[in-house]
Amino acid sequence: MSDATTPAIVLGHRFADEVPEMAMPWQAAEPPAPRLLVLNEPLAAELGLDAGWLRTDDGVRFLAGVNVPAGAKPVAQAYAGHQFGGYSPRLGDGRALLLGELGDRDLHLKGSGRTPFARGGDGLAAVGPMLREYVISEAMHALGIPTTRSLAVIATGKSIVRENLAPGAVLVRVAASHLRVGSFQFARATGDDDLLRRLTGLAISRHHPGAGDALGLYRAVVGAQAGLIARWMLTGFIHGVMNTDNMTISGETIDYGPCAFMDVFDPATVFSSIDEGGRYAYGNQPAIAQWNLARLAEALLPLLDDDQERAIEKATESLAEFRGQYAAATLTGFRAKLGLTGRDDIDDATLTSLSEDLLGLLKSEKADFTSFFRTLAAAEDLGAFEDWGKRWRALGPDTGAMNRVNPVYIPRNHLVEEALGAATDGDLDPLHRLLEVITQPFTERPGLDRFAEPAPPDFGTYRTFCGT
């Protein structure tokens, strides 16, 4: 960046320096006509970036990865992964690029062109899927769920081929890091224990500094993921593609492809068009997370103990903690959702029975998962839920507190599709309106009724796609 008006931006390169075997030096493809579609100004301020400058031509070229600061080392990251249960030893950033670390967070691109990991793909992305990740990740952040963030989406000025021609885009993503279970699977597959040890040290220092060693790291990741998946379940979020390369070591939600929020409560709910067997259905998410964590344990075995049998025993004991931690986090969440936080006189068994009975009723009555809890806090007559409601009211819930944890606004699927369709056609107003609503999810406001309502009957069966 030679322009004297350009801010002094320093991008670190710890990943490239500490595990160079997993970092392929690469450059973003130059888009023919880059144009900023949406910029997350509050996030830019958190990162110490000048939002005004980011909106300039030079700023947009920086966001697109074309003008990188002197000394930066952009790389495509190598990782492996189990995808729908099948192991792929070499995946990596096929259409993505780690520009570097900005402070303690990664600055990362999606849709920035082919890399050596592209596996026949074009390395590009479309406006719709990149805006979907922006919308859903910012909604998750507003809901208090650990997540990667979206800094910007840039139209490239290039049409890409999918089912039809679609306008191309680049997403600028911010994350605590992009270390994932698949990163450790890749390192283990090399047979290089020193690489695995360095990767483990990097993960500890960046995310779990109190872990101490590989076993401590593993237990920390188990705990972080147990808490994360509980939060997904408590908000009706369905990730849709929980491959091991999509599970972070930090405990952040990552890679919003065929994701969606559930309307009618049903544990079998699947939105992804490629998940034909329902592997990643809403109700399967805790078990899949535990399965993924078992794959992390396998990757870490050489560092857990010199004796393989003892290493397996340590890993098994640590993985067994997931179920209890997930159950505890879920129960804590339901205490809050039902207005019973701080009530030591209500034991876990009572709360568990109450919650499980409620979930059974929600399914049988085909109730909307999100709006039910807001209605519960206000309604005197609960209709088909009245008998259950009598048990709940007898516990003396704090209904005022319920509205501080139960959202009134989430990214309803029909509203997301409406906004993305308009944006793809050049109208960004519905997108900005939706963002304004969902980033304040707990505060009910006049004139926003349609944003709190389930999809209309004519919306039909909803299907999402991976956004490739």
Rounded to a whole number of angstroms, the distance between the first and last alpha carbons of the chain is 31
Dihedral pair phi/psi, residue 359, rounded to 5°: -60, -40
Q: How confident is the model at residue 225 (pLDDT cuts 50, 70, 90)?
A: very high
Over range 32-45, report the average pLDDT: 97
- What does each C-alpha distance from 25 to 89, 266, 303 come to in angstroms? 20, 45, 28
Contact 84, 1 (CB under 8 A): no
The pLDDT mean for the chain works out to: 95
DSSP letter (8 states) at residue 306: S
H runs (alpha helix) in 71-191: 127-142, 181-189
How far is Cα 248 from Cα 238, in angstroms, rounded to an integer?
A: 16
Position 459 pLDDT exceeds 60: yes
Instruction: Confirm whether pTM is higher than 0.75.
Output: yes
Residue 150 three-state SS: strand
Torsion angle in degrees (nearest 10) through CA of 292, 462, 173, 432: -150
Q: How confident is the model at residue 4 (pLDDT cuts 50, 70, 90)?
A: very low
Q: In terms of Cα–Cα distance, which of 336, 341, 349 is closest to 406?
A: 336
Contact 241, 257 (CB under 8 A): yes
Position 354 pLDDT exceeds 70: yes
**Residue for token digits 């495509």?**
76
Contact 38, 424 (CB under 8 A): no
Q: Which residues 6+ apart lie within 8 Å of 78 measured at CB?
A: 21, 22, 23, 24, 90, 92, 93, 117, 183, 186
Q: What is the pLDDT of residue 162?
A: 78
Q: In terms of Cα–Cα distance, which of 225, 220, 192 is closest to 208?
A: 220
Q: How confident is the model at residue 467 (pLDDT cuts 50, 70, 90)?
A: low
H-run or E-run covering 151: strand 149-161
Over range 47-76, report the average pLDDT: 96
Position 324 pLDDT exceeds 60: yes
Q: How confident is the model at residue 163 (pLDDT cuts 50, 70, 90)?
A: confident
Contact 137, 146 (CB under 8 A): no
How far is Cα 343 from Cα 348, in angstroms, rounded to an integer?
A: 11
Q: What is the pLDDT of residue 5?
A: 63
CA-based torsion, 362, 365, 368, 373: positive or negative: negative
Over range 287-307, report the average pLDDT: 98
pLDDT (tens digit per residue) in 357-411: 999 999 999 999 999 999 999 988 999 999 999 999 999 999 999 999 999 999 9
Q: What percent of the chain has pLDDT over 90?
A: 92
- What does each C-alpha distance from 82 to 86, 95, 187, 320, 369 come to in angstroms? 5, 19, 14, 21, 31
Position 109 pLDDT exceeds 80: yes
Supply the residues annotated as catalytic.
245
Q: What is the pLDDT of residue 450?
A: 96
Q: How confident is the model at residue 463 (pLDDT cuts 50, 70, 90)?
A: confident
Contact 58, 3 (CB under 8 A): yes
Q: How confident is the model at residue 23 (pLDDT cuts 50, 70, 90)?
A: very high
Structure tokens, 448: 């926003």
Over range 130-146, report the average pLDDT: 98
Longest dimension (CA), the chain: 71
- Give the chain's length: 468
Position 3 pLDDT exceeds 70: no
Q: What is the pLDDT of residue 121?
A: 84
Residue 186 identity (one-letter amino acid) = F
Which conformational region is residue 143 in: left (phi greater than 0), alpha (psi within -120 to 50 degrees), or beta?
Answer: alpha
Which conformational region is residue 251 in: left (phi greater than 0), alpha (psi within -120 to 50 degrees), or beta?
Answer: left
